[in-house]
A and B are shown apart, each in its own frame.
Chain A
């Protein structure tokens, strides 16, 4: 019975593939991360926003310094983010200054 239903859902159709070019524009990103309680966001802005916009960071739940450290390590080792190790402390200071 389930097989029959599955087959019924697969029906012959006539829609042709698209032929016309499609071009779009994307809206601007969220901009720079702001200073938090006097802690500068410069290191985070310089190292994080080349690959993703600011909302990727600001949308996260409250993470510990250790968890954020793991995230930085993942960005560096997996995604090849050229994060200067000398900036880690400043990035972490800002990430947990919430």
Chain B
């Protein structure tokens, strides 16, 4: 498979590295081409991150971070912005406006939000394009490895309680959210995403100000962000300052033209065929990722080789993680770690008896809805919804 080839040191990759702001180190994301990236400690409220782009920031979490804890530390949590955003925010002055198809439009302070019942939920936030750089054939876009995700305990209030303050009129069909970020060019479409009204009114969707017991880092959406457990991060609008209730489907660019995937559950099409009908990306799929062995590693021979990692179930909990070293002919179950709820990371650990030589370790997640990762990797032109089993190449010395 392409991802095992050693990336050639092209002129371009050397340039990319040399250009980067103070590099702490360099990592190989395992792409077929151009997968070397510098790491950086130069971003505010962040520790060492993989630098994908400085402006607007795209910072990736090294997979090894997921090996250390169930919850991803705020200072290692990935960062993804489409547009520039304010670098100074005063939460005392921040206002959340509720407008549109409501009986009482509202302008709410954080103090006003805090008077609503407070809730917390553990949930994985994952970019729809997580793992894009690993697809074959490749496609343009943010060239993420698998670190455009993280698990946190989100704290705030329910979106439905906030909407109730404004009074939703009959006939509402969607709820659109947008934040303080704004494009450089005025004619570019402001970033805004919509949830169907029924989903916006479900118990699990939050407006959060807290992340793992601390305020959101600025790069993760300080002072407020939407939390949509089980759905891709494109809906988790950061620096949230506006909620608009719509009485018609959202025909804005970011719903009608962007973040679309082929209209099948795996978002899977043949690269040689037309993509066909497309629909917005929504729910995540189950995934398991090995975090204690980097692909391409050489390990000493042992009676059994420990394999551990992290799994998500998508919109249902993780029910099972299995390991294989024979291409998926036989599987052994891994032991699951603590359960923090259906939307959270579930860590796993197991072992494989690997004799000296080269092996390909597979880890496969199944969720509580009975959805299992396919062995063959899905593919679509935008590189969304990567859902297949990831292989980790290892050589036992």
Contacts and interface: CB of A to CB of B under 8 A. Distances in A.
B1 interface: no
A12 B119 contact: yes
B80 to A, nearest CB: 12
A18 interface: yes
B16 interface: yes
Given A12-B119, A30-B19, A21 B12 contact: no
Nearest to A59: B143
B185 A81 contact: yes
A36 B53 contact: no
A7 B37 CA distance: 41
B59 to A, nearest CB: 11
Nearest to B18: A34
Interface size class of B (residues with CB under 8 A): 35 or more
A56 B21 CA distance: 14
B218 A2 contact: no
A28 B88 contact: no
Contacts of B344: 9
A31 B53 contact: no
Interface string A1-38: 01001111111111111111111111111110010110
- Looking at chain B's contact residues, the main secondary structure is loop
A29 B34 contact: no
Contacts of A22: 88-89, 91, 215, 218, 222-223
A81 B33 CA distance: 28
Contacts of B297: none
Nearest to B316: A2
A21 B216 CA distance: 12
A18 B140 contact: no
A17 B110 contact: yes
B204 A16 contact: no
A78 interface: yes
Contact of B87 (A6, A25, A62, A79): A25
Given A12-B117, A63-B140, A98-B12, A23 B54 contact: no
Given A9-B342, A51-B184, A15 B19 contact: no
Nearest to B153: A13
A31 B338 CA distance: 45
Interface string A54-76: 11101111110001000100000
Contacts of A98: 10-12
B201 to A, nearest CB: 15
Contacts of B359: none
A15 B114 CA distance: 9
A9 B87 contact: no
B216 to A, nearest CB: 8
Given A19-B92, A24-B87, A26-B55, A2 B19 contact: no
26 contacts: A2-B342, A5-B317, A6-B203, A7-B203, A9-B340, A14-B118, A16-B114, A17-B156, A17-B209, A18-B215, A21-B88, A21-B89, A24-B87, A24-B88, A24-B219, A25-B44, A26-B44, A29-B54, A36-B11, A37-B11, A55-B19, A58-B12, A58-B13, A61-B139, A62-B138, A79-B183
